[in-house]
Structure 1
Amino acid sequence: MLLCTFKYGRELELLRSIFFDTISVFTIMNPLSVGVIMLTLLDENISKTEIRKIALKASKSVYLSLTIVFLIGQYIFSFLGVSPDGLRVFGGIILLMMAINMVQGYGKRTNQTTKEKEAAEEREDISIVPLAIPITVGPGLTTTMLNMSIAATTWQAYVSGLSAILICCFACYIILARMPFIKEKLGVNGLRVLNRVMGLVVGSLAAQMILSGIAKFL
């Protein structure tokens, strides 16, 4: 009886961890803002089939990038001698800047110059560059993956992180593939409201990362 209770307790804890990791990754990934940027880079007469192909390729690229960062990111920073606590604080500051930007209703910033944007619009395939990297997998999402990688000390944590990446990338594909329909139904104001709500969550995660890094450093 005790063994059965312990087993189900561990399973529930794993599911809870997957849920919270998924929420964290999804809000920082912000596929709705990515979708809006995608539509601005595409021709207005592009077919739905082409949009689905771009969404699938971009989501696969995001999945591969996040998985690599999550699995080996902490070892790279350990090799460079970077403190995990310092990385948490700096990552939290980046997320805090993103959160303030989102709450103000500006959406994702791609840090692209005018020439880079024009070059992206002229490319036949924008799915990997710039849609997957650096628009989706930017500094905020990268530091989040690194923070999750540092915190992963058990196999359950690795299962939780990899599951969250898979779920979020699948959700990202669904949203990007259906972005014309979503934008039509929600409108600009609806997208901005959702973006502000996500900004509150990202801000909370940022504050938690900063306080956790400072506390462990002290």
Structure 2
Amino acid sequence: MLDFLLEAFVTLFVTVDPLGLAPLFIGLTAGMSAADRRHVALRATAIATVVLVLFALVGAKLLSLLGISLPAFRIAGGLLLFYTAFQMVFSQKEPRDKSDADRAVTLDHIRDIAAFPLAIPLLAGPGAISATILAASKAPTLTAYGAFIGLIVAVMGLGLLVFLAADPIDRRIGETGRVVIGRLLGLLLAALAVQFVADGIKAILIG
């Protein structure tokens, strides 16, 4: 069981990559207060946790019932991620004072950002969902299955800690740093999105 849990943790941690999401979190929550960022972090990780736990419990049966393949999930997630990357690279920076920023960060905006793209597809993306379904199907015992659910919560907890630590990082890099990082990460996200789509198409063709 220990080998199963170690393999499952490494796979899930790599696919979620909570450490690599810190700069993305900073870019997506630019202009928000520390309290708003905490709200986004908590909501995003909670949503992602629920999604991954649900897929661990009924994911394989649900996909089979709907006739949806894992490669199709990967393609769909890649397309959504590319849309986000496009916005990050080509968004127009307009001067705005604090009151404008305060009005822009509404409760609906916070909820939207937390759900998409932070929770889905960044935290609970096609890779993480695929890894969750595959690992759950390999659980040797019911105890190992329950422990794997705990691993999902642990990895999401790491993601929450990374997001909560993003605010002091943001203060250090400044406005110019945010602009540069946002554009560079947009390019990286675009490449990642294309890779998701390519992997999905390749898997469909081979299958």
Band of TM-score, shorter chain: 0.5 to 0.7
After TM superposition, the score normalised by the length of structure 2 is 0.62
Q: Secondary structure at the match of 2:48?
A: helix
Determine whether 1:92 maps to 2:83. no
Amino acid at match of 1:143: P
Which residue matches 1:121? Answer: 105
8 Å Cα contact 2:27-2:182 kept in structure 1: no
Determine whether 1:62 maps to 2:48. yes
- C-alpha separation between the residues in 2 aligned to 1:74 and 1:176? 30
Give the gaps of 5 or more residues in structure 1.
Answer: 1-9, 110-117
Kindly state the Cα deviation for residue 144 of structure 1 after the two structures are TM-superposed: 3.3
Q: Secondary structure at the match of 1:155?
A: coil
In percent, how many aligned pairs have the same letter? 15
Give the gaps of 5 or more residues in structure 2.
Answer: 92-101
Change (3 A) 1:160 1:147: farther
Change (3 A) 1:151 1:94: same
Q: Secondary structure at the match of 1:65?
A: helix
Amino acid at match of 2:13: T
Alignment of 1:1-218 (within 5 A): 11-12=2-3, 14-26=5-17, 30-40=21-31, 42=32, 46=33, 48=34, 51-52=37-38, 54-80=40-66, 82-83=67-68, 87-97=69-79, 106=88, 121-123=105-107, 126=110, 129-139=111-121, 141-152=124-135, 153-155=137-139, 162=149, 165-186=152-173, 187-188=177-178, 189-190=180-181, 192-193=183-184, 196=187, 204=195, 207-215=198-206, 217=207
Kindly state the Cα deviation for residue 169 of structure 1 after the two structures are TM-superposed: 1.7
Amino acid at match of 2:205: I
Runs of 4 or more, structure 1, over 6 Å off, are 101-105
C-alpha offsets along residues 119-138 of structure 1, whole Å, 9 cap, x if unaligned? 98332893xx2233123232
- C-alpha separation between the residues in 2 aligned to 1:201 and 1:21? 17
Amino acid at match of 1:69: F
After TM superposition, the score normalised by the length of structure 1 is 0.60
- C-alpha separation between the residues in 1 aligned to 2:61 and 2:39? 34
Amino acid at match of 2:29: M
- C-alpha separation between the residues in 2 aligned to 1:164 and 1:207? 29
- C-alpha separation between the residues in 2 aligned to 1:207 and 1:99? 13
Q: Count the aligned residue pairs.
A: 186
8 Å Cα contact 1:35-1:175 kept in structure 2: no
Change (3 A) 1:70 1:54: same
8 Å Cα contact 2:9-2:151 kept in structure 1: yes
